[in-house]
Copies of this chain bind each other. A is one copy, B any other.
Amino acid sequence: MTASSTGSDDAVRQTRVRSRRRQLLDAAVAVMERTGFHQMSMQALADEAEVSVGLIYQYFGSKEEILLDAIVGILEAFSDQLAPAMDAVGDDPVERIAAGFEKYVRIIDANRRAVALTYRESRTLPPAGQARIKELEVVTAAPLREAVEAGVAAGVFTPVDVDLMVYDLVMLAHAWALKYWHFGRLYDLDTYIRKQLLFAFNTLIPVGGREPYRHHFVLEAT
């Protein structure tokens, strides 16, 4: 009884811990989006999360750890959501890339300021943290990479440099966050996605192979 109750206590505790951490990280992202990492005082974070300063230190070892966890949390959203969205459209590499890029940009749009935060604050972390984030970014793009490789292997895509193509896609997706002050004035989200896809497909898909994807190219001349 004691053992089992302790066991369930542990489970309950784990859940509470996780929810507290989530609450604090959400608050941290909210504050950092407004003020940046360095301008965020622990008191401000405590206020935002409606807890005491002391409590924060029961869930995170330091302010820096919060930054790392916050950034990692954002990157994990990609890992969690990207592959499923691509799998949902089937096996066609073109459709997979289209769906993947679209999802990638949509996640960025949903976390626009958090993504910008990532660019701004990563360097604040110690080398180990920076390395982890870079690694995660690469992992994050893996589903796109597989789709490009598959397409090239299948002869559907031009034999492009896969590394370059994938990271260009990533950059053009990130650009929606980094240059939102520019692109956001010119395009809505859907238009941005479609136009950037066209840009990529002009390289990816050989001229002769574009016919089946006429819907993707419908705005080519605009």
User: Which residues on A are within 8 Å of B, measured CB to CB?
Assistant: 36, 38-39, 116, 119-121, 123-124, 134, 138, 158-159, 161, 163-165, 167-168, 171-172, 175, 178-179, 181-183, 186-187, 195-196, 198-199, 202-203, 207, 220-222
Contacts and interface: CB of A to CB of B under 8 A. Distances in A.
A207 B36 CA distance: 46
A158 B221 CA distance: 8
A186 to B, nearest CB: 5
Contacts of A187: 164
A81 to B, nearest CB: 22
A199 B168 contact: yes
B199 A164 contact: yes
A13 to B, nearest CB: 14
Copies in the complex: 4
A66 to B, nearest CB: 16
Contacts of A183: 164, 167
A52 B183 CA distance: 44
4 smallest CB-CB distances across A and B, nearest first, come from A202-B203, A38-B38, A202-B202, A171-B175
A36 B39 CA distance: 14
Contact of A195 (B121, B138, B161, B186): B161
Given A175-B171, A181-B134, A221-B159, A164 B119 contact: no
B179 A123 contact: no
Contact of A182 (B123, B167, B181): B167
A161 to B, nearest CB: 6
Nearest to A38: B38
A175 B167 contact: yes
8 contacts: A36-B123, A164-B183, A164-B195, A164-B199, A167-B183, A168-B196, A171-B179, A203-B203
